Structure 1
Amino acid sequence: MTKFKSDFLRILSERGFIHQMSDETGLDDLLAKESVTAYIGYDPTASSLHVGHLMQIMMLRWFQQTGHQPISLMGGGTGMVGDPSFKEEARKLMTIDTIEENIASIKRCFSHYLDYDQGPKGGALMINNAEWLRPLNYLEFLRDVGRHFSVNRMLSFDSVKTRLDREQSLSFLEFNYMILQAYDFVELNQRYGCRLQMGGSDQWGNIINGIDLGHRMGTPQLYALTAPLLTTSSGAKMGKSASGAVWLNADLLPVYDFWQYWRNTEDA
């Protein structure tokens, strides 16, 4: 096991939370030397997160408890497009009102894990990427950001290849998602000095896109850190049951049913 200097990476390593990391030594040195800002993105496709998000939520919690500033980035903009990563079909498009209602509900969930009180040390932040994505001028965005992306490389991503190999439709709207998500990292760096993006292991390609875009657009060194996905004993992604999603908001799933889910889950 790697010995880390920073409290944050040491805690994650002890708990088996680390799947992949870009520039391990550089990130460890940065976290040991100064307070860092990092984020994880969530598309508000429902009014609650589910148990499959727990590991990423705990990453943000440990990040704050070790003296750093976490950002929970809500995809009020990207959520209108939909993440195509490893999906068999396009997500149903949501209205702006539904997205905003979901974000408000999800913040109540996050408040159990993160401190949003803006005290002397600064609290956690919840930010909506619609702040910069909705006002974008399309022609300027294509010229200033789109030119940094290679379609050849985008087609090589596993999340895209899987859809195409199965001869399943991938819309131009969904294809733009990875560009918008990469742009989020650049905006968060420019606005909040964010240097690290974290997420589940299925988001590695999207996160690296953001780092590459930042490098091309002149940001400081950016970093990536992913955690393993929570899976069942059969290897399926955790978060859904036979009766539906296992929500974290008690108004969507009674506490007893939440307990029953874990009680009935076989050890992996």
Structure 2
Amino acid sequence: MRTSHHTDHEREDLVARKRADGVTASLVLPARDEEATIARVLEAYLPLRDEGLLDEVLVVDSLSGDATAAVAREAGATVVAVGDVHPAIPARRGKGEALWRGVLASTGDIVVFADADVLDAGPHYVVGLLGPFLDDPAVQLVKGFYERPIVGADGAVEEHGGRVTELVARPLLSLFRPELARLVQPLAGEYAGRRSLLEAVAFPVGYGVEIALLLDAFGRHGGAGLAQVDLGRRTHRRQSQQQLGVMAAEVMAAALRRLGLDPTDDVMHQFAPEGHGAIATALAVDERPPIASL
């Protein structure tokens, strides 16, 4: 697996090479109820637009119930609501839904995705993810990886992330796509793809989007079309075991569909730790069609 470090590229050099090659780049941040973190995240990325490394910074407001859109707009980003992008298809909540509509609303030849709840986002994320595309035109998808401390409500590090990766994604890849087992973090939220790839594949509406894009990119372009880059450190908030269970089910559904096994239901059944009360959660396992087919 082609692997690099974000320090392998200098910002000024990438800007010059990008302009010389006539390549454009967009940053898409899906955001739902992230008013507490979105301004800080944008503060890290917006200078790259001013320098010319990014041509646009787009926040996709995913049916937020707070002031995420207003805060992002005030910070200087372009903000679109999921319901305003291709309104012929009614909008839903879901990470993949926001990313799919973000590709539709953006214009860059390369689209960089980054999460809006990261506590230590930096411009080096974008620098690291763009570098491999300018180094090699065969690269179609670049995945980030990093140390992943998880902080509690008091800001203290409680543990390290990657539970869904280690318990679901990595076993699936090791068993069925061992060529991808060398990816450090196949479900990383910071990654980038060429528009030609992103418009040619389906997007799961929910959390299955990352593994789906990875498997589809590998299926189309093989290992030569993939790269990964060390982005250093990424701190984010803790999610409950129940939330991670739902995420794991959506990841499994997307992966198994690409292995020839479609899910037969779209509900996750869980039980409360106290009293063992039944909990039924609807899963976002359906998919948006390839943009090129619209």
The two structures have a TM-score, normalised by structure 1, of 0.37
The two structures have a TM-score, normalised by structure 2, of 0.34
Higher strand share: 2
Higher helix share: 1
The one of the two structures with greater contact order (alpha-carbon pairs below 8 A, sep at least 6) is: 1
